Amino acid sequence: MRYALFSFGVLGIILNCTHSLTGAEGKIRQKIDPAPPQVANGQSGEATSPAAQPPVVAVQPQATEQSLENSIGMRFKLIKPGKFLMGSKVETKIPGTTTPVHEVTLTQPFYLGVYEVTQEQFERTMKINPNTVKAPKKAVEKVSWFDAIDFCKKLSGMPEERSAGRVYRLPTEAEWEYACRSGTTTEYCFGNDVTKLGQYAWFVGNSGDATIDFQKLGPFEKIQALGSNHNRAHLVGTKRPNEWGLHDMHGNMWEWCQDHYAQYRAGAVTDPINPAPDAGREGTEKPIDRILDAGRVVRGGGWRVYAAGCRSAYRNSNDPSLRGPVNGFRVALSLNDQP
């Protein structure tokens, strides 16, 4: 419940139960739309006030066509190093979730999965499929952080992958947001117009039997809609990709990252990854921060999440042992024997 309180508020608890709250590669675009997303207050991951977007500092260099497919059919895109502004000035229900906006430099290239890990890929590697509804091409769900780490280890140990020298891992939180933004500085990879989200994401407004604009519903109407609309996960890759060719970076499943959760600090950083709370990071006197720090970062929102919780900068903290119905992941692959 502590994690649900952070991400969803009252209705977020209803949404997640055990869980807490474009085209092909080519020229990098910078999309700056002065109108931030307008969403209703009081929902999971929802903004309470709009703010001006941060200025551009730098974007990824010219993208290449390099990609790879591994022995179990997972496709990856090469993400080149670069700089970006991490975070957002749009306020959330818990202050400091996405602020302060800060410059991040990633010095190493890496590969990132084009899609979230599917049921068939997970079952082939782990010899188990945790999904209640079996569908090979749907994203695997009910996966804990520990499960995702174990998947990466077992995939890396497969003969074909070992002979190719491939070592798989979860992306860092900074790598995830960098790849999601794909050169943009706006609230979503396609700009700030929240009405376009359904073209790129499965979220609470379109993942059920009917498309529903929850912003126009009152609290009781939302509860009724959630109980009768049969919201669910969908096949990976059925929505438009971002500019770097990655699908479902917004919505469908919350995606685990390597990092422990920690509030951002001001100032530019290089190749950041949040350590465990007792591993040299400054302590905090705020109980909510201590609660959140115990978790691992999840990104991207999901099929049970409102639009604002699917923003590029939005972040959440989950207990690493949580196997929620919206918990999934995608895999990263380092180059040149990077850790």
pLDDT band at 290 (very low <50, low <70, confident <90, very high): low
Residue 151 pLDDT exceeds 70: yes
Q: Which residues contact 332 (CB under 8 A, 6 or more apart)?
A: 110, 111, 112, 113, 168, 169, 170, 171, 175
Which pLDDT score is estimated for 293? 63
Which pLDDT score is estimated for 227? 80
Contact 234, 252 (CB under 8 A): yes
The domain limits of the chain are 2-334
pLDDT band at 275 (very low <50, low <70, confident <90, very high): confident
User: In CATH terms, is domain 2-334 a member of 2.60.120.10?
Assistant: no
* Model-wide pTM > 0.75: yes
Residue 20 pLDDT exceeds 80: no
Find the mean pLDDT for residues 242-246: 97
pLDDT band at 95 (very low <50, low <70, confident <90, very high): confident
Which pLDDT score is estimated for 49? 37
Query: Quick one: CA torsion of 254, 260, 263, 267, rounded to 10 degrees?
Result: -110
Distance from chain centroid for Cα 26: 22
Contact 260, 274 (CB under 8 A): yes
CA 6 to CA 37: how far, in whole Å?
Answer: 20
Residue 30 pLDDT exceeds 80: no
Average pLDDT, the chain: 81
Q: How far apart are the first and last CA of the chain?
A: 34
* pLDDT tens by residue, 159-215: 999 999 999 999 999 999 999 999 999 999 999 999 999 999 999 999 999 998 887
Provide the token pair at 319: 């207990």
Percent of the chain with pLDDT over 90: 65
- According to DSSP, the residues that pair with 67 across neighbouring strands are 77
